[in-house]
Amino acid sequence: MDFSYWDKVEDFQLDDIIFLWIGGVRDVATARQAIDLGLRLAMAVVDNKLPCSNFISIPPKGLATLVYSKANIAQSCLSWRIKRNDLKVWCESKGYKPAFLFPEVRNTRSEATELLDPDSPTYPLELHIALRAWEMVSANHSPKKSPKQKILAWLNAHYPDLSEEAKNRIATIANWKKQGGAPSSE
């Protein structure tokens, strides 16, 4: 993806952020990731963790309605504008490095994207899903569950039609804590 125009943009609309973040990829996993990302960004704005213009504070009763419906979040956020530097600070605090904000990751991302081209005859679907699972689970990891348990839960939520064998293969690949055992209670 060519980011030359976007490198000059200082104020992003929420839908632009989501489109740029997912790199214009249009598959089911990416669509689900985009919805999750939109919710995380919106909640960061609502919780005053990500500065935003055009945001009208929502009373607690309104917040419950907003959180309850993903459609409401999408509709109410369209006019929100987030400054480049504020978004970079928030991304860094969460361990995210989207290519449209961080030029230093673009080369490695574009090579990986080429390897995971769904139109390629050698497209490794399970590897692609494993990368997505690792990306989502590792970004929100807590020590209360093992990475493999969280990856399997994510796969069940996002790919319910995968066979149990495929889910186990994917969870084995994406799991970064291979020694197993129960998570420490520390």
* Average pLDDT score over residue span 74-85: 74
pLDDT at 69 over 60: no
The pLDDT value given to residue 65: 47
The pLDDT value given to residue 180: 66
Query: Alpha-carbon distance 40 to 115, whole Å?
Result: 28
Most confident range (mean pLDDT) of 44-48, 68-72, 93-97 is 93-97
pLDDT by residue (tens digit) across 143-162? Answer: 778 899 999 998 998 888 99
The pLDDT value given to residue 171: 94
Who has greater pLDDT, 165 or 63?
165
pLDDT classification of 81: cutoffs 50, 70, 90: confident
